[in-house]
Amino acid sequence: MLMQRLVSKIQKTNAPIVVGLDPMMKFIPEHITQKAFAEYGETLEGAGEAIWQYNKGIIDAVYDLIPAVKPQIAMYEQFGVEGLKAYKKTLDYCKEKDLVIIGDIKRGDIGSTSAAYAVGHLGKVQVGSKTYAPFDEDFATVNPYLGTDGVKPFVDVCKEEDKGIIVLVKTSNPSSGEFQDRLMDGKPLYEWVGEKINEWGADTIDESGYSAVGAVVGATYPEVGKIMRKVMPKSYILVPGYGAQGGKGADLLHFFNEDGLGAIVNSSRGIIAAYQSPAYEKFGAQGYADASRQAVIDMREDIANALASR
C-alpha cells in the first residue's frame, strides 16, 4: 500500500526528504536553455524542453538518495500546454525511477469538480469504453477551503486507486496566519482542518499505521508543527519551507514522531538551484546536478543530526 511504500523508502534512504521540482527559468543553467532554444527557438516549447532537460539532470543525480519528489505544477502551467507536457514527462520519468510523486497542485472545488481533478491526477478517466490515467501522481495536495464535499471525491479515488492526498493545514508563507490562525470557538482554523483530516483519512490507514490523508504544515511554524503532530497522529506531515524559506533542521523536530517517522521535508530551490548559492557555487552551472546531489546529502545530514539530538 502507498503509505507503507513511502515509509519503507524513507527508512531505506534514511532521508525523510522530498525534492521540490519547481523549475524557474532563472535556475536553469545557460547551456541547457541555449540547447533547447537552438532546437525550438525562444518559444513555450523551448521553455518546456529546457525545463524537462534540467529536471532530468537533477533526477538522475538524486533519485537513489530520496524517497519522493514534489513537482509544483504552477511552474509548468505558467508555460501553458507546452509546460504541462514537461510536467507530464517529468512525472513519467520519476515513475521510471520508482520515486513517490507528490503532485503539488493545491486543487479543491465543489464535489463534481473535485472529482474531475481527482480522476485526472490520481485516478482514471473514462473515454468511451477505454480508461486513461492522465497524470497519475501518487499524492496530490488539496486546498480545504470548500470543506468535506470538496475533499471527499479525492479520498474516494485514493481508496480505489491506492493513492493519497496532502491537505493544506498551515502553509509556510508569511501571511498564512491571516485566515489559518484565526480562532474559531477558541481553536485556530488550521486545527479545525487538522481534525477534519482525521475524519477524512480514518479508513485509509494501511499497514504502516499512517493514513492516506496527510497534511501540509510549514517548517517556518515549528510551534504549529508541535501541536498538529498531536492533533493528527495518523497523518504524514509534508513540511515545506526548509532552506530557502528559512526553516532549519532544528525547527523540524516537532513535526516527527518519536520513531523518526511521520514527516517528510520538502526543499525546492535549496536543492535544484543549489549551484547558485555560495555553499555550492564551486560546482558551477555545468555541475548543477552534482550540486543538487551534494545539497541532498547535506540536508539528509542536517535532519539526521536534528533527530539524533533529541
State the minimum distance, in angstroms, from the CB of residue 157 to a second copy: 11
Q: Which residues contact 304 (CB under 8 A, 6 or more apart)?
A: 14
Of 69, 149, 163, the closest CA to residue 113 belongs to 149
User: Which of residues 176 and 208 has its CB atom nearest to a second copy in the complex?
Assistant: 176
Q: Angle, nearest 10°, between helix axes 222-231 and 189-201?
A: 40
User: Which of residues 25 and 297 has its CB atom nearest to a second copy in the complex?
Assistant: 25
- The three-state DSSP-derived secondary structure of 13-61 is HCCCEEECCCCCHHHCCHHHHHHHHHHHCCCHHHHHHHHHHHHHHHHHH
Q: Which residues contact 127 (CB under 8 A, 6 or more apart)?
A: none
State the minimum distance, in angstroms, from the CB of residue 96 to a second copy: 18
State the minimum distance, in angstroms, from the CB of residue 179 to a second copy: 6
Query: Where on the phi/psi map is residue 241: left (φ > 0), alpha (ψ -120 to 50), or beta?
Result: left
Q: Which residues contact 217 (CB under 8 A, 6 or more apart)?
A: 169, 170, 190, 224, 225, 228, 237, 238, 239, 255
User: Which of residues 49 and 251 has its CB atom nearest to a second copy in the complex?
Assistant: 49
User: Which of residues 10 and 47 has its CB atom nearest to a second copy in the complex?
Assistant: 47
| Rounded CA separation 92/116 (Å) | 21
CB 17 within 8 A of CB 301: no
* Cα distance from N-terminal residue to C-terminal residue, the chain: 31
State the minimum distance, in angstroms, from the CB of residue 254 to a second copy: 21
User: Which of residues 177 and 209 has its CB atom nearest to a second copy in the complex?
Assistant: 177
CB 168 within 8 A of CB 216: yes
State the minimum distance, in angstroms, from the CB of residue 243 to a second copy: 14
Active-site residue 106, yes or no?
yes
| Rounded CA separation 15/265 (Å) | 9
User: Which of residues 74 and 297 has its CB atom nearest to a second copy in the complex?
Assistant: 74
Catalytic member of 35, 56, 95, 106: 106
State the minimum distance, in angstroms, from the CB of residue 13 to a second copy: 26
Stated as kind and residue range, the H or E segment containing 279 is: none
Active site residues: 106
